[in-house]
Chains A and B, each alone.
Chain A
Amino acid sequence: MVRRDFLIGGRLKGALIYIDGLADTAIIEEALIPHLLGAEIPPELFARQAPEDLVDLMERALPMGDVRLVKSMAEVVEHVLSGDTAIFVDGHSQALVTSTRAFEHRGVEEPITESVVRGPREGFVENLRANTALIRRRLKTPDLKVESFRIGRYSATAVYVIYLSSLADPALIREVRRRLERIDVDGILESAYIEELIEDNPASPFPQIDHTERPDKVAASLLEGRAAILIDNTPFVLLVPAVFVQFIQSSEDYYERFYLASFLRMARFIALNIALILPAVYVAVSTFHQEMLPTSLLIKLAAQREGVPFPAVIEALLLELAFEMLREAGVRLPRPVGQAVSIVGALVIGEAAVNAGLVSAAMVIVVALTGIASFALPYFAMAITIRLLRFVLLVAAGILGFYGIMIVLLVILVHLCALRSFGVPYLSPVSPYRLQDWKDVFVRAPRWAQDTRPSRIGYRDITRQGKEQRPGPREDGRQ
C-alpha cells in the first residue's frame, strides 16, 4: 500500500492511499497529484470543515470521471482493495474515492472451450468490467440492467446479475437475487462455486445452469429472457434458467445454415445416446440376448470373444476405465506430451491387448465409438455426466441385460422429469410439451421462422421479431 502526503493547493494537508499493482500509478502520478497540488483553493473554503467542501474540491481539482464521496472506512477499504485511490483531507471524516483500477489482465482472446468456425472470436476474460463491456457492446439498450453483489467473506468477489428488464421475468430475477444473497462462504474463486451454491437440485448429476465464455451467447440468452451471472476473476458466465436441450446445442448452430445446424443437432442427439448406452447395449446383447444379432455377425463376435478371459461386462468396464484414464492423462499433461500418451495408449495398448487375447476387437471398437460420441457433445459438463451414467448402465446391463438398462434409464428419465432449473422444468419444451418451442430444440428453424421466444422463459414479450421476415420478392412483383 502506498501513502502519499501532500498539500492541496499548497495550503491544505491531504493524503492519497492506493495499492501498488492494483492502481494505475501513471494516472496517479501524471494527473491526480499534479492537479491536487496545483489546485486553486479560496481561503474561505475549508474553514468550516463541511462535507460540501470535499464535493467542491472534487469539482475544482479532480479531472477523473469516476469520483465519489465515501462516508465509512469500510467502504474506503473495499474501494482501495479493488484498485481505487482514496483521498483524505485533513479535518474531514469523509474521503473521496477515485477510480484508478488498472491491474494486469489477459487480453480478449478466442474462447478455447467453445471455438466456432463461423462467428465472433471474442471471449470473456477475467476482468469483470471488460466482460460487461463485451455484453453492452452487443445490446445497446437502456433495458440492460446490471445488479451488483459482493460475495465471499474474504474474497469479496464482485458478482453481477445482468438481464434485460423488459424481457426477463421479475420472479426469476428475484429468485436469482435471493439465492445469491443466501451465499455465505469464505471465497468465490470461480463460477462453479456460485453454480453449486444456487442449483435447484444440488444432488443431481446433471448440470442445471449453463455456462459460457462467449459474449454472443450471453447476448442471445439475454434476448430470450434469461439472466446472466458474471463473476469477477473468471471468464465463465453463468446463464439461468437452463434446460436439457441447451446442452446439446452450440452457438454455431445459429451461424450456419439451418439445414446443417439441424443435422448437427440430431447428430449430437444420436451421439448422446451412443455415449450413454452403446457399451451397455453391447454387453446386454452379447451376454443375454445373442438372438438379436444376425447369425453371421454372431459367429464373428463369438469367434473374437473366444479366449477372452473375462465376462463381457468386466471386459467393458476395464476398457472404459482404461479409456477414461488415457483421457485424463491426455488432458492434464502438457499438450505435446498428452498427444504422445494418447497415441501410445490408444494404438499400442489397444492393439497389444487385442493381440494378446485379453479383450476382443469388437469391444475396443465399441469403447472407441463411445469415446468419440462423448467428445461430440458440445458441453464438457454434460459429457462428463453422460460418461458417469454410462458406468451405471454398464453394470446394470451386466446383471440384468436389457431389462437392467431399461430400469436405470427409467430412473434417469424420472429424475430428469422432476428436475427444474430456476422453476423451469428441465426437459421443457419436450415435456411439458410446447410445440411452438420445438423450432429450436432438435432442429434449428431458419431465423425468419423464429418468431417467438422460448415460451417458458421469455413469455413477458413473446414476439421476437416483425411479421413476415422471410425474404422473397416484393408483393407487387417489382424488383
Chain B
Amino acid sequence: MRLDGYISARQATLFIWFTILPTAILFLPQMLAKKSQQDAWLAIILAALPALAVSACVYLLSRRFPRQTLWQMLEFILGRPLGRFFGFLYVWFFLHLNAVVVRQFGEFLTTAVMTETPLLVFAVTITAVSIYAARNGLEVLARAMEFIMPLMVFFMMAVLFLTAPEMSGRHLLPLMSRGWHPVLQGAFLAAGWLGEVVLLAAIVGFINPPEGLRSSILFGLAGTLFFLAAVTIGSIMIFGAAETGRLSFPAYSLARQVSIGEFLERIEVLFMAIWVGGVFIKITILLYVTATGLGTLVGLTDYRPLLLPLGALTVALSVWLHEDVTHLTNYILRVWPSWSLIWEMFLPALFLLLSLILDKKGEGA
C-alpha cells in the first residue's frame, strides 16, 4: 500500500504523548492508588523502565528496517506467511485496544459528566470524528496534535498550580510501608499502559529525519511520565491515597478542586472538553494504524475504505466486550497488563532478537 507523508521528530514526540497520556491520566492514578497506595508515583517511575525497553526495541528495529512499518518489518523478519500471521494478530490487538479506549472514554463521560446520556452516543460520535480525521492521513493528524497538546499541558499545569495550596506532603508518607510488593504490582499495571508506545512501530518509517527518533522517544516518554506522575502525586497529596483509590477519576476531581475567588470554579467541564480532544487523537491514531496495517496485509492500494468498517467494529466491540464499568476496571486491573505486555514488550523483543540472529536487515540499514 502506498502511504506518503512525513512527520517531524517533534511530531513523533507528540505521537508518543498522545498514545499514552489521554486515557492513562484518566484511569491510572486511581488504579495505582488502589494497588500501591501512597507509593503510586514510585510505581510510575519504575514503569518507565519497561516503557524504555519497549521503545528501545522499536528504535533498534527502525534502525534495522528504515522507512518500514511494523507489518513490513514482520514480513522481513519472519518470512511472508508467519509475518502476515503475526501482522493480523497485531491488527487485532490494536483494534481491541481501540475498543477498550473508546469504552474507557465513554465510561468517563457517562460516569463523570453526562450521566443521563447513553454510552453509545459518545462511542459513535467520537469514532465518527476519528474516521473523518484518519481519512486525512498522518500529517494532518500530527498537525491537529500540535493544537491539542499545548491545551492539555496548560490545563494540567494550571490545575496543579491552582490546587497546590491544598496539597499536603504528609499524604505521601510513609514511604513503602508495605515493602516492595505493592509498588511492583503498580509498576506492572502502569507498564501495560506505558507500553502502548509500541504503536510507534507502526509509523516509525514516516519520521523524517529518522535520526530524530531517539530524542522523540526520550522527550515523549519523559513528558508523559512527568505529567502522569504529577497528576498522581497531586491527587494523592490532596485526597490521600485511600480516597484517590475510591474516586472514579482523580484527575477530574482534581480539576473540580480549583476555586479562585468564588468566580473561577468548577472548571472540570473544561477538563472534559480538552480531554475529548486528547482521547480523540488517541482513537484516531489507533484507527489509522489498524486500517493502514490491515490494508498492507491484504494488499489494498488505499486504507480509507477500511476506516468505516473498522470504526463500526470498534464501536461494537467497545459496547459488547464489557458489561459495565466494574467489569472494565477488573479487566484492566487483572488481564490487561499481562496480555498487553505480550504484544508490547515480549513479541517486539523477540522479533528484534530474531532479526539479529538471522541477521536480517531492510534496505538502506
Contacts and interface: CB of A to CB of B under 8 A. Distances in A.
Contacts of B263: 294
A42 interface: no
B265 A294 contact: yes
Contacts of A414: 129, 132-133, 136, 140-141, 144
A401 B269 CA distance: 10
A374 B74 CA distance: 54
A291 interface: yes
A402 B10 CA distance: 30
Interface in A119-175: none
Interface in B93-110: 109
B281 to A, nearest CB: 9
Contacts of B129: 407, 410-411, 414
A123 to B, nearest CB: 36
Interface string B262-289: 1101110100110011001000000000
B269 A431 contact: no
A400 interface: yes
Interface in A409-451: 410-411, 413-414, 417-418, 425, 427, 430-433
A406 B276 contact: yes
Interface residues of A, number: 24
A414 to B, nearest CB: 4
A294 B122 contact: no
B164 interface: no
B351 to A, nearest CB: 33
A417 B134 CA distance: 12
A402 B262 contact: no
B33 interface: no
Nearest to B263: A294
Given A289-B269, A414-B136, A433-B10, A403 B114 contact: yes
Interface of A is mostly: helix
Contacts of A294: 262-263, 265
A232 B143 CA distance: 39
B114 A431 contact: no
A413 B147 contact: yes
Contacts of B113: 402-403
A261 interface: no
Contact of A425 (B114, B125, B143): B143
A391 interface: no
B114 A401 contact: yes
A294 to B, nearest CB: 6
Given A294-B265, A410-B277, A403 B122 contact: yes
A240 interface: no
A331 B145 CA distance: 40
Contacts of B132: 411, 414
A403 B276 contact: yes
B67 to A, nearest CB: 20
Contacts of A401: 114
Contacts of B272: 402-403
Contacts of A292: 265-267, 269
B324 interface: no
Interface in B33-59: none
Nearest to A296: B262
B298 interface: no
A288 interface: yes
B365 interface: no
Which interface residue of A292, A402, A406 has the most chain B CB atoms within 10 A? A406
A410 B136 contact: no
B143 A400 contact: no
Contact of B126 (A407, A430, A431, A432): A407
Contacts of A407: 125-126, 129, 276
A294 B266 CA distance: 9
A406 B273 contact: yes
Looking at B136, B267, B272, B273, the one whose CB has the most chain A CB atoms below 10 A away is B273
B146 interface: yes
A23 interface: no
A391 B117 CA distance: 23
Contacts of B147: 413, 417, 430-431
B8 interface: yes
A418 B140 contact: yes
B357 interface: no
B150 to A, nearest CB: 10
18 contacts: A292-B265, A292-B269, A294-B262, A294-B263, A402-B272, A406-B277, A407-B125, A410-B280, A413-B147, A413-B148, A414-B129, A417-B141, A418-B140, A425-B143, A430-B147, A432-B146, A433-B10, A433-B146
Given A401-B114, A417-B147, 19 more contacts: A292-B265, A294-B263, A402-B269, A402-B272, A403-B114, A406-B276, A407-B126, A407-B129, A410-B129, A410-B144, A411-B129, A413-B144, A414-B141, A417-B140, A417-B141, A430-B147, A431-B144, A432-B143, A433-B10
Top 4 A-B residue pairs of the complex, sorted by shortest distance between their CB atoms: A417-B143, A431-B146, A418-B136, A406-B276
